[in-house]
Amino acid sequence: MAEICTEIILALDSDSLDDALRTVHMTLDHVRTYKVGTILFAHHGIESVRRIREAGAEVFLDLKFHDIPNTVRGAVRGAARLGVRLLTIHTPGGIEMMKAALEGAREGARAASVDRPLVIGVTVLTSLAGDEGVEDLVMSRTADAVEAGVDGVVCSAHELAGIRRKFGDALVTVVPGIRLNHQAGDDQARVATPGLAARDGANFIVVGRSVTRSDDPVRTLKMIEEEVRNA
């Protein structure tokens, strides 16, 4: 496998935009891209994306669009106009829905004269335990994402090596459920350390509460950076 540089995405899973922006300003020297998920977006909408981008950061819009193809195309078109770096759709929506999402991303980016965001398909949520059935499902949904032509997938570190072997290095992989060795998994079942995910070829690792709820978020980020470098 070719060497892949693993980048940290920091999740802003807060209902307070002020708290989220404080985290951005505190950690901007260590993080390029911040995840805006359903909690922050439901409370503050596109304002959350705009304010984070104004702070000098990129946005991973993790809303997991999942609907009929035409609806997803329109939703992704609007999201792409915001200038986000990555966005998510749900792979169970099917190949045609994923193709529609990609077309919506192209349309929105073109209309706003911004770069097209990477369209990333969510395979199986990391809250589901990692038995053999889950791994098979992740691989099947990844195959659908590749057929649809989207840029990458969200998977846990447990399926990452298999995805790299089967689909190669060109597929972008986003890996949540990242914890340092001494940290608990919370509500995520398929968790892994930053080093394991980096070693197996993650393009992006998503960290959240392990950093934002730590006593010293910057120190925790530095620990994660060091573990990734040494993987």
Residues 207-224 pLDDT 10s: 999 999 999 999 999 999
Residue 1 lies in a domain: no
Average pLDDT over residues 153-167: 94
CB atoms within 10 A of CB 8: 21
Task: Select which of 35, 64, 99, 222 is catalytic.
Answer: 64
Angstrom distance (rounded) from CA 82 to CA 206: 21
Active site residue 99: no
Task: Encode 51-72: b = buried (16+ Cβ within 10 Å), e = exposed.
Answer: bbbeeebbbbbbbbbbbebeeb
Task: Report which of 3, 4, 8, 1 is spatially closest to residue 180, judged by C-alpha positions.
Answer: 8
pLDDT tens across 8-61, in order?
999 999 999 999 999 999 999 999 999 999 999 999 999 999 999 999 999 999
Angstrom distance (rounded) from CA 99 to CA 152: 13
pLDDT tens across 54-108, in order?
999 999 999 999 999 999 999 999 999 999 999 999 999 999 999 999 999 999 9
Q: Please state the three-class secondary structure of the chain as a single string.
A: CCCCCCEEEEECCCCCHHHHHHHHHHHCCCCCEEEECHHHHHHHHHHHHHHHHHCCCEEEEEEEECCCHHHHHHHHHHHHCCCCCEEEEEHHHCHHHHHHHHHHHHHHHHHHCCCCCEEEEECCCCCCCCCHHHHHHHHHHHHHHHHHCCCEEECCHHHHHHHHHHHCCCCEEEECCECCCCCCCCCCCCCECHHHHHHCCCCEEEECHHHHCCCCHHHHHHHHHHHHHCC
Give me the domain span that covers residue 209: 7-229
Residue 28 lies in a domain: yes
Instruction: Tell me the Cα Rg of the chain.
Output: 17
Structure tokens at 35: 């995840």
Confidence at residue 133, expressed as pLDDT on a 0 to 100 scale: 85
Residue 72 lies in a domain: yes
Residue 116 lies in a domain: yes
CATH number at residue 104: 3.20.20.70
Instruction: Find out whether 48 and 40 touch, Cβ atoms under 8 Å.
Output: yes
Confidence at residue 125, expressed as pLDDT on a 0 to 100 scale: 87
75-79, 161-165, 175-179, 180-184: range with lowest mean pLDDT: 180-184
pLDDT above 70: percentage of residues in the chain: 93
Angstrom distance (rounded) from CA 108 to CA 74: 9
Residue 183 lies in a domain: yes
Residue 206 lies in a domain: yes
Domains held by the chain: number: 1
Residue 2 lies in a domain: no
